[in-house]
Amino acid sequence: MTSIRKTRAGSIGLSAVVVESLEGRQLFAVGLSSLQMVGDGAPAAASLTQLPSENQAALSTTLYDSSGFESPRYTPGPLNNQDAAQGPWLKSGDSTAAVVQTLVSAHGTQAVRMDRHAGLTARFAPVHTISAVDQTITIDWSMRVDAATGVQPYGPFFGVEAYHDPGNGVLRLIGSGGIDAKTGEILFQYAGSGALDSTGVTVTLGQFHSFRLVLDFPAQQYSFYVDQVLARNEGFVDSTLANPINGFSLASLSTFAAGGDAASQSATGTAYFDDYLITSATAAVTPPKASTLTVNDGTVQRSKVSSLTVKFDKAVTLGTGAFSLSRLNTGGSGLNDGSAPTDATAALGTPTSSDGGTTWLVPLNGTGPFIETNPDSTPAGSIVDGIYKLNIDPTKVTAGGVAMAAPASFTFYRLFGDVNGDTTVNPLDYAQFRNSFSKNVGDAAYNPVFDFNNDGAVNPLDYARFRSRFGKELIL
């Protein structure tokens, strides 16, 4: 594991940097099982709580909430191994650096005091690994850094570092943010090099400030806010184009040297942490929508209608009864008496999808009076004539557990003989029927949409069906 360089812009050039080994990072990198041993054997178990949300399509998860380090979860004394049920807190480096105390707090009566002892590095964190993060993780905390004394020009650093442990023994730094205890500068680490630098923002030492790190995994960028004001946007420290960081494991309360010179390396200081909270947000799943209906293979003819294709705006899961079918009794369809539509759902076959759920093929090969049949009861390859509505039950169409927001329906029709899709059988259709008349399967002029009984030939039987519809029009 390589070390992170510590330098300050305008004071020490990169060539003169004294490299500080992040031994804590090396200890964290040994894997979660070893982390538990570093924490003296206490079990590490994530406590995931779904936050309430007005939009149930949006999912927010609390990875860890310190609840202000208050009693009874925390008791005054060393932070290491505390909150065993939801943590526990594990240590790396100086085990005496962090204690729960009652003298100084941002809220409530308790907070964590962290001391940087001369030349020592310390990190404390509960571990809650997410192997694949699709949106953002947010780390919030309150922190008071007391003004450091001594001859050092910088530091020490107090703040939070976010890491991912991919399980291969090499912990990867996502981002960090904190305060220089000597100068009051807000510090961050550069993408790629990990060099520590000032954001150009300073705060008053000796009082609490609010901090937030937002880890944006799609953008591979972290944003650091101080007192609700953006201080820095920066790329993930150890991320590369070839090997992006896609997971999260911990956000450590950390202290280490803030400069490469000898005095800064041995600098001491004190800070207080409170209100530590880590949340994870996933993309809000918008309700799915049915976008298009394709009749047959998309050609305009409505002489035969044997299948429907419904496309949604995203992959969906269909429950039983997601689709229903009705035939209208208006516009020349069905009874044509203005009565309520007649249920024709039995004509629907079983929907299937070949693209993971975005597009669904609904065959019209079911049963009942709306399936066209021949005198011998064999299927004729279409639903019967009429104007239809395919209805979609929103409660039975879901994406990511989120149902459609409202019902949807599509209107289509079937009229034997209408080869050009103009809702009527007229001389234009007759001209094409005549070209196909007396032709059999295999003949270039044979058109199966005029073969009413599916016997492989367009013959007088089909002509009788065509003639009975000549001049008929459906009004959609």
- Bridge partners, residue 407, by sequence: none
Domain assignments of the chain as residue spans, ordered by start: 4-281, 290-469
The pLDDT assigned to 200 comes to: 94
Q: What is the pLDDT of residues 102-140, one digit of tens each?
A: 999 999 999 999 999 999 999 999 998 888 888 899 999
pLDDT, residue 283, reads 65
- Per-residue burial over 383-422, b if 16 or more Cβ lie within 10 Å, else e, is bbbbbbebbbbbebbbbbebbbeeebebebbbbbbbbbee
- Identify whether the C-beta of residue 282 lies closer than 8 Å to the C-beta of residue 59: yes
Beta-strand pair 290-295/250-256? unpaired
Alpha carbons within 13 A on the beta-carbon side of 46: 17
Phi, psi of 73 (to 5 degrees): -65, -30
CATH architecture designation of domain 4-281: Sandwich (2.60)
Nearest to 278 by CA among 124, 140, 89: 140
DSSP label at residue 455: S
pLDDT tens per residue, range 307-321: 999 999 999 999 999
Instruction: Tell me what pLDDT residue 284 has.
Output: 67
| Helices of type H across 6-97 | 23-28, 32-38
How much is the pTM? 0.56
DSSP for 376-422, please give it: TS-EEEEEPSEEEEEEE-GGGEEETTEEPSS-EEEEEEE-TT--SSS
- Please state, in angstroms and rounded to a whole number, the distance separating the CA atoms of residues 124 and 97: 9
- Tokens matching residue 169: 């023994």
DSSP 8-state secondary structure symbol assigned to residue 140: E
Query: Which positions of the chain have pLDDT values less than 50?
Result: 1-58
CA distance 115 to 318: 58
